[in-house]
Amino acid sequence: MNPIAKVREAVAHSGHTVPAPRTEDHDTAAEAGSGPVVALHDAAVRVGGRTLWSGVDLRIGPGEFTAVLGPNGVGKSTMIKVLLGALPAAGGEVRVLGARPGQANGRIGYLPQRRSFDASMRVRGTDVVRLGLDGDRWGVPLPLPTARRRAVRERVAEVVELVGASGYAHRPIGQCSGGEQQRLLIAQALVRRPELLLLDEPLDSLDLPNQSAVAALIGRICHQEGVAVVMVAHDVNPILHHLDRVVYLAEGGAATGTPQEVITSRTLTRLYGTPVEVLRASDGRLVVVGQPEAPAVHTDRHGIPGGVRAAG
């Protein structure tokens, strides 16, 4: 298939208009507030003796929506793991919620990549959400009518309502659709009122209406509840008009800034060292043409063939 045809195909998926990306109106608030939620300074990471990315500078303030973009295998999920403290940074400085990574995980909501429950998982959605609240406690919950139990129930019901999952949260989660499961998992990540949400490709494997609905939900949580969001995405378009900031990872380096600054032909060409073109479709969607493929060694199972795809 020729590149133009692929571009057309990628653009043909759009069914909605996209307003201009948000501007940096949060920065002043972030500076005035309690300091950055995430701060990376010249950070680098190595796995298996290979440097995935380095020289990443990033400051995310409270209530900001940041997207982490880049080809498969570039180290986007690895960045989330670094922020969780599951993997040490190989260089530079990383601070999360004012502490070393891993020190404040109780204040972080995490949604790992590609998680779905198959039909035989006979546990209700509310149970999965509730584990996010107190699943790390010792002991077993006793079915006694205590005040604590009532508070737990209320909080779970509240967060299920917030993500719009009340209609199916009592069903076994294995019998919910992909979009329904994703909402319940977002509720699980939110149930402890985190200050930071780390979402690894939450729109993956959702159909287009569900992608924009879940993206809108995350945008609403971010800007209305003031939760900072770091979201790994394959396609920037469903979240473009919610975004404050993007991090574009490439083999070796990274580009950070507002979407208008970063997702441009000039910045991406410089980042990848090969001609990359960013096209804007008439409806505002961005299409990145010529972005190089992932590094040679990668075991990611969901590689997308071809050198052309929507940004991300």
Ligand X SMILES: Nc1ncnc2c1ncn2[C@@H]1O[C@H](COP(=O)(O)OP(=O)(O)O)[C@@H](O)[C@H]1O
Report DSSP letters for 46-66, one per residue.
EETTEEEEEEEEEEE-TT-EE
307 binds other proteins (CB under 8 A): no
Cα 71-10-252 angle, rounded to 5 deg: 15
**Are the beta carbons of 50 and 297 closer than 8 angstroms?**
yes
Burial annotation 256-276 (CB, 10 A radius, 16+ → b, else e): bbbbeebbbeebbbebbeeeb
Min dist. Cβ of residue 142 to Mg ion (A): 39
- Shortest gap between Cβ of 67 and ligand X (angstroms)? 13
Q: Is 296 in the site for ligand X (CB under 6 A)?
A: no
Q: Is 52 in the site for ligand X (CB under 6 A)?
A: yes
Query: In this complex, which beta carbon is closest to ligand X, that of residue 29 or of residue 47?
Result: 47
**Contact residue for ligand X among 100, 121, 298, 307 (CB under 6 A):** 298
Rounded to the nearest 5°, which phi and psi values hold at 24? Answer: -80, 45
Binding mask 66-85 for other proteins (x = CB under 8 A): ------------------x-
Interacting residues with Mg ion (CB under 5 A): 77, 113
The dihedral formed by the CA atoms of 103, 105, 107 and 113, expressed in degrees to the nearest 10: 150
Number of residues that bind other proteins (CB under 8 A): 42
Binding residue for ligand X (CB under 6 A) from 143, 299, 301, 305? 299
Q: Measured from the CB atom, is 282 or 299 closer to ligand X?
A: 299
Q: Is the dihedral of CA 249, 296, 44, 72 positive or negative?
A: positive
CA distance 283 to 99: 42
Stretch that binds ligand X, among 76-84, 118-126, 136-144, 182-190 (CB under 6 A): 76-84
* β-bridge mates for residue 288, sequence order: 278, 309
Residues 194-213 that bind other proteins (CB under 8 A): 209-210, 212-213
For residue 75, state whether it binds ligand X (rule: CB under 6 A).
Answer: yes
Residue 172 interacts with which of other proteins, Mg ion, ligand X, none, CB < 5 to 8 Å by class: other proteins
Q: Which pairing describes strands 277-280 and 286-289: parallel, antiparallel, or unpaired?
A: antiparallel
Asked if 242 touches ligand X (CB under 6 A), the answer is no
Q: How far apart are CA 77 and CA 87, in angstroms?
A: 11
CB of 74 to Mg ion, least distance (A): 9
Distance CA 202, CA 161 (A): 19
Considering CB distances under 5 to 8 angstroms, the limit depending on partner class, which of other proteins, ligand X, Mg ion, none binds residue 210? Answer: other proteins
Q: Which C-beta is closer to ligand X: that of 64 or that of 251?
A: 251
Contact at 8 Å (CB) between 22 and 243?
Answer: yes
Rg of the chain's alpha carbons, rounded to an integer? 20
Question: Which one, of 1, 73, 6, 9, lies nearest residue 289 by Cα?
Answer: 6
Site for other proteins in 157-196 (CB under 8 A): 164, 166-168, 171-172, 179-180, 188-189
Q: What residues line the site for other proteins (CB under 8 A)?
A: 84, 86, 105-106, 108, 110-112, 115, 117, 121-124, 127-128, 131-132, 134-141, 143, 164, 166-168, 171-172, 179-180, 188-189, 209-210, 212-213, 216
Binding site for ligand X (CB under 6 A): 47-48, 52, 70, 72-78, 297-300
